Structure 1
Amino acid sequence: MALTDILPRALSRRPRPLGERLARMTALARQRRALGDLDPHLLRDIGVSRDEALEEAARLPWDAPAHWHG
């Protein structure tokens, strides 16, 4: 693999700006809170137990899979 093949991918993996990262963490926190607030019948519809929903809702905003940070 030539350097010209690697360089565009390396440049596309630059860290995201701080504002964008904060916006993503805020959105993730909001989504997790909403999951924790869902009614039991809605949780059943998506195949998530109440305990799983509450566990996910309690996670910190920066506790996300690495590929989400891209």
Structure 2
Amino acid sequence: MSMMINTQANRRPANGRTASFFTRLMQANALMRQRHALRMLDQAALDDMGLSRAQADAEARRPIWDAPNAWLK
């Protein structure tokens, strides 16, 4: 089970400017929700994604400021 939340917050601004504070806040919220959802997955769903429970837990424990590189552009 894969979960990608497609919100305005996880898209790069069309004009190339850096994201506003509100956009960054929305991105952090989306990341927090996605990591929580990852933590809640059962073993069958993790197996479907090719992840172990230890990998999923390690990702879920990462701090909120440790965001994917694609969000930092």
**TM-score of the two chains, using structure 2 as the length reference:** 0.73
Structure 2 gaps of 5+ residues are: 1-14
Q: What displacement does 1:62 show?
A: 1.4
Structure 1 vs Structure 2 CA RMSD: 1.3
Partners in 2 of 1:66 and 1:47 — Cα distance? 22
Which protein has the larger Cα radius of gyration, Structure 1 or Structure 2? 1
Identity of aligned residues (%): 44
**TM-score of the two chains, using structure 1 as the length reference:** 0.76
Please name the residue that 1:64 is paired with: 67
Counterpart check, 1:55 vs 2:58: yes
Structure 1 gaps of 5+ residues are: 1-10
Stretches (4+) displaced over 4 A: none
Higher relative helix content:
1
Pairs aligned (count): 59
